Amino acid sequence: MELKLGKKLGVGSAGDAYLLEDGKVAVVGKREDSFGTYKALFEKMKKTDGKISAVNYPKIYQLVEPCKEFPFGAMIEECILGEELRKKVGDLTDADKVAIGETLAKFLREMHSIQSDGNKDEEVGINLAKYERSLGIIKDYLDEKTFAKLVELKPRYQQLIQAKPFCTTHGDLNAGNIMIGSDNKVSGIIDFGNMEYYIPEIEFVHMYFFDRTIYDAMVAGYGKAIDEKEVVLIELVVNVRHFKNIVKFDDKREHCLDNINKLLSLYADKNVDKCTNISIC
């Protein structure tokens, strides 16, 4: 299949995004598992049809099977216009941020109401196993005391996810996936690649460490209690699990390890107001 790739819009772990002549976006795979990932996402995204009205989001129009031009496949999706929140945040007023937080809260209420066929008990087991495997990878990069703290977190993490309701989540609601229009309002949400059946707290970790005004408006608009200490714990787990993806890159590896140490201290101290110097991996 011939696709005339234009401007590169973004770089991802499974594929890179390019603008096409017709205004759509081609996400071109670059790993052996990319096409399988796209097929799974295509099926997941069907569940959002007619369920989300709070924001625009990229509908997938077509899958391109692996071929000579695209050895790892590709997918064609809708282009969501706007500028990434992380690049726009400096231009926003507090009122703009509150409005953005309220829009994100509405999006989450809609997203979390989508029915899923996931099995909570199975997902709890899968998530605990992923954490255990991640500990095996990160062990050689930590001192014994720090590693012991991460091991001690497993039963606390297990208790948390067993106690919480599971729902359909976006899974990666960071400031690079939230698009802002020229009116300083949310123009869309992109990158549903981490969409999963998980606990609601995963949706709040990025904004908690990025901008507290937006975060507070999100929590207030969401309408259900979100505990900051639990958000910190989930972010710790996210960093530990993410380590395997960046272990070969010295700068990213050290950044992730630094985050883990800061988060461990923050979680132990129960002082969640000291988190402003922690950035998401």
For residue 141, being part of any structural domain is answered with yes
For residue range 39-57, list pLDDT tens digits in order.
999 999 999 999 999 999 9
Asked if residue 214 and residue 114 are part of one domain, the reply reads yes
Asked if residue 191 and residue 72 are part of one domain, the reply reads no
As a whole number of angstroms, the distance between CA 242 and CA 245 comes to 6
Asked if residue 121 and residue 232 are part of one domain, the reply reads yes
As a whole number of angstroms, the distance between CA 34 and CA 66 comes to 9
Burial of residue 79 (number of CB atoms within 10 Å: 0-12, 13-18, 19+): middle
For residue 111, being part of any structural domain is answered with yes
For residue 249, being part of any structural domain is answered with yes
Q: Which of 227, 210, 132 is nearest to 174 (CA)?
A: 210
CATH at 228:
3.90.1200.10
Asked if residue 131 and residue 269 are part of one domain, the reply reads yes
Asked if residue 88 and residue 36 are part of one domain, the reply reads no
Domain boundary among 60, 77, 94: 77
Token digits of residue 135: 């500990």
Three-class SS state of 71: coil
Asked if residue 115 and residue 48 are part of one domain, the reply reads no
- pTM: predicted TM-score of the whole model, two decimal places: 0.91
Number of H helices, E strands in the chain: 9, 10
Asked if residue 103 and residue 51 are part of one domain, the reply reads no
The dihedral through the CA atoms of 140, 143, 148, 151 has a sign that is: negative
For residue 35, pLDDT over 70 is answered with yes
- The answer to whether 176 and 85 have CB atoms below 8 angstroms apart is yes
Share the mean pLDDT of the chain. Answer: 94
For residue 281, being part of any structural domain is answered with no
Asked if residue 208 and residue 176 are part of one domain, the reply reads yes
CATH at 22:
3.30.200.20
Asked if residue 188 and residue 260 are part of one domain, the reply reads yes
Across 192-220, average pLDDT:
96
> Among the residues of 139-227, which ranges form H helices?
144-163, 205-210, 212-222
As a whole number of angstroms, the distance between CA 90 and CA 15 comes to 29
For residue 275, pLDDT over 60 is answered with no
For residue 280, being part of any structural domain is answered with no
Asked if residue 49 and residue 87 are part of one domain, the reply reads no
As a whole number of angstroms, the distance between CA 48 and CA 100 comes to 21
For residue 280, pLDDT over 80 is answered with no
For residue range 70-103, list pLDDT tens digits in order.
999 999 999 999 999 999 999 999 999 999 999 9
Asked if residue 270 and residue 179 are part of one domain, the reply reads yes
Please give the residue range of the domain that contains residue 156.
83-274
Domain boundary among 15, 49, 77: 77
E-strand ranges in 39-139 read 60-64, 74-77, 83-84
Domain boundary among 50, 77, 104: 77
Q: What share of the chain is helix, strand, coil (3-state, %, to 5)?
A: 50, 15, 35
Can you tell me which residue has the tokens 């969401």? 222
Computed on alpha carbons and rounded to an integer, the radius of gyration of the chain in Å comes to 19
21: how many CB neighbours lie within 10 A of its CB? 9
- The answer to whether 267 and 236 have CB atoms below 8 angstroms apart is yes
Residues 6+ apart with CB under 8 A from 186: 55, 100, 103, 104, 107, 178, 179, 180
Token digits of residue 84: 């990434």
For residue range 118-143, list pLDDT tens digits in order.
999 999 999 999 999 999 999 999 99
Residues 6+ apart with CB under 8 A from 93: 184
> What is the number of structural domains in the chain?
2
For residue 279, being part of any structural domain is answered with no
Asked if residue 186 and residue 112 are part of one domain, the reply reads yes
For residue 41, being part of any structural domain is answered with yes
For residue 179, being part of any structural domain is answered with yes
